[in-house]
Amino acid sequence: MARNKKKTLRDRFDEWLSAHPKAACAIIGSSVALTLVGIFLFVTFSGFGSSAEFIYNQF
């Protein structure tokens, strides 16, 4: 006799992903783009793009 298994979060996510492929692509693409912009801004304005001597002297 099969038990009624409760749907896991992964099961619900997979169902939503297969039902909305365009929305999932847009969400994943915008997340990647925002992450890359955030990394670029952090490196540009944090001083980690400076010389190694400058970074070493801060510690």
pLDDT tens digits, 15-29 = 999 999 999 999 999
| Res 1 pLDDT > 60 | no
| Res 57 pLDDT > 90 | no
Q: What is the pLDDT of residue 24?
A: 92
Q: By the 8 A CB rule, do 12 and 5 touch?
A: no
| Res 2 pLDDT > 70 | no
- Kindly report, residue by residue over 34-52, the tens digit of the pLDDT: 999 999 998 888 876 667 7
5 φ/ψ angles, rounded to the nearest 5 degrees: -85, 140
SS3 28: helix
| Res 4 pLDDT > 90 | no
